[in-house]
Structure 1
Amino acid sequence: MNADPLELQKFADLAHRWWDPTSEFRPLHEINPLRLEWINARVPLAGKKVIDIGCGGGILSESMARKGANVTGIDLGEKALKVADLHSLESGVAVRYKLISAEAMAAEEAGQYDVVTCMEMLEHVPDPGAIVRAAATLVKPGGHVFFSTLNRNPKSYLFAILGAEYLLRMLPKGTHDYEKFITPSELSQYIRSAGLDVAGFKGMGYNPLTKFYSLNNDTSVNYLVAATRPL
């Protein structure tokens, strides 16, 4: 194996945080099957060339590769990418990971991907519109782009910040900044301005009693958006 065992061990010590479904990343593990199946129902992933922007430790990237996609995951978090690489080695699921920004990747590989995903990232960056433009550049004509983010309204503040971070402690305090949440109309404008067509919205809900997530038509807190690049 062409890897330094000491380096692998160093990042193995971090890996359990991303890939432990009971850790602070538990919500990502629990919503991942929902978002994966939603994407795969719209675009069967087998044989598709896919790029996952803001891939973190690779939870979505690996699951798309398991569906038969040829996946590239990009992120600016070096430690997260090391964890993703390590897990890919351990699981035997091949994913290409790259430490690069979406904008730089778009300059390098414009129009190369059948599917672009960008999940739970837009609300963490200073200029989400630039990420949407990069996604639009990366996807092939006729290809598909998927985003997920958090709506901005009193309900989303109550559920996503007060509820998830303070009351239920599902996420570390300070995970989200309410001012960076994005309304569906704002995201739609970013998408259209980037030359993409909005193809559909889906809401995601959490029941604190059953502790289960589900997809629905309520986009008031968490929501997903499908977009396409015209031929």
Structure 2
Amino acid sequence: MPETSQMSAAPQMPPPAETPGSIAYRERCPLCGGSSTIVGVVGGPVTHNQYDLRRCTNCHFAFLANPCLDYARIYDEAYYQGKGADPLLNYVDELNHPETTVRRNEWEGVVRIVKTLVPPAPGVRWLDFGCGNGGVVRHALATTSYDCVGFDIGWITDKARETGIPILNDAELSAAEGTFDIVSAIEVIEHIPDPNALFRQIYRLLKPGGTFFFTTGNARPYRDRLTQWEYVNPDIHVSFFDPDNAAMALKAAGFTTEPLGYRNGCREIIRFKVLKNVHQSDRKWWHNLLPWTVAGRVLNKRLGVFEFPFARKPIG
């Protein structure tokens, strides 16, 4: 994946005043409570806010000290049309043209990985948390026997429900606690200012013995150059993990963790990430000519895409 430098480091500055749609300035690590140091100031492409990027001196978790919580502004219709904070994605086109979007590679990869963790069978309940336009849900329902539903609260969800994709609302999600065999969160946890609260919520949603699988960017290769990492898109990405601090937080929420490793489905997810980052939105015949088997393993080794663990809720 291209390593483009989108933001530059800045000298330490006094904490900015709290503004509407933000939270109180944070110096303590929201993951472990440790002290942190500022590593740079990064600018939001939509809000034009200046955000302090800090890193914990204990667990190395990186986070925005003053993230924007004005979700109606940053996760609006323009965002889902590829005209917002992430112009490389167009959720509306993906929803309307699921057979031709390169996002289908990610959907296929996620389903293949989940099959290795919890084999499909009638009655096996799968929740895709933060499902966006519901693409994973629709693909799982069309190709497997999972009882799969999504959860999201973004602008796109009503459009997705109109196509028949089952997406829970807040009340329905609360009523479903303790009923899921697997919960996935694909590129979700980096959007959450309080990841500990999210992990506790997912723990409650799972049955005893249930499995949690997630993907997110790996900050470890960029630990000393975070402001040059293209994943730091601060209007929408506010939390930056490495495999060790993710495992620490999951264990604190009550989970046990196991290495995911490079398994069936990983190649397809990396294929999507590469194509997205070189501005390919539609599947082309020549994409199949590229050496994805080799490229997937090389990029995974270089960037640690699948070094993160998956988690299980203990039985009893």
TM-score scaled to structure 2, two decimals? 0.52
User: Structure 1 pair 189/219, CA: closer, same or farther in 2 (3 Å)?
Assistant: farther
Q: Which of residues 141, 147, 172 in structure 1 aligns to 2:208? A: 141
Corresponding residue for 1:132?
A: 199
Q: List runs of 5+ in structure 1 lacking aligned partners.
A: 1-13, 89-94, 166-172
Could you tell me how far 1:114 is from its partner in structure 2? Answer: 1.1
The match for 2:139 is: 63
Please list every run of 5 or more consecutive structure 2 residues that lacks an aligned counterpart in the other structure: 1-90, 279-289
Deviation at 1:127, TM superposition (A): 1.2
Which has more radius of gyration? 2
The reply on whether 1:75 has 2:152 as its aligned counterpart is: yes
Q: CA deviation at 1:161?
A: 4.8
The 5-angstrom pairing of residues 1-231 of structure 1 reads 15-20=92-97, 26=102, 28-47=103-122, 48-66=124-142, 67-77=144-154, 79-88=155-164, 95-100=165-170, 105=173, 107-155=174-222, 161-162=229-230, 177=237, 180-202=239-261, 205=270, 210=290, 212=292, 214=296, 218=301, 220-223=303-306, 225-231=309-315
* Mean CA deviation greater in 28-37 or 213-222: 213-222
**Per-residue CA distance 1:147-192 (angstroms, 9 max, x = gap):** 111111344979x954x89xxxxxxx77864x62211111101211
TM-score by length of 1: 0.69
The structure that is strand-richer by fraction is 1
Larger relative CO (CA 8 A, sep 6+): 1 or 2? 2
Superposed CA deviations along residues 95-136 of structure 1, whole A, max 9, x for unmatched, are 4212329xx83x432211111111110011111221111111
Q: Please tell me the root mean square deviation across aligned C-alpha atoms, in Å.
A: 3.6
Distance 1:84 1:122, change over 3 A: same
Percent identical residues: 21
Going by fraction, where is helix more abundant, 1 or 2? 1
Q: What SS does structure 1 have at the residue aligned with 2:207?
A: strand
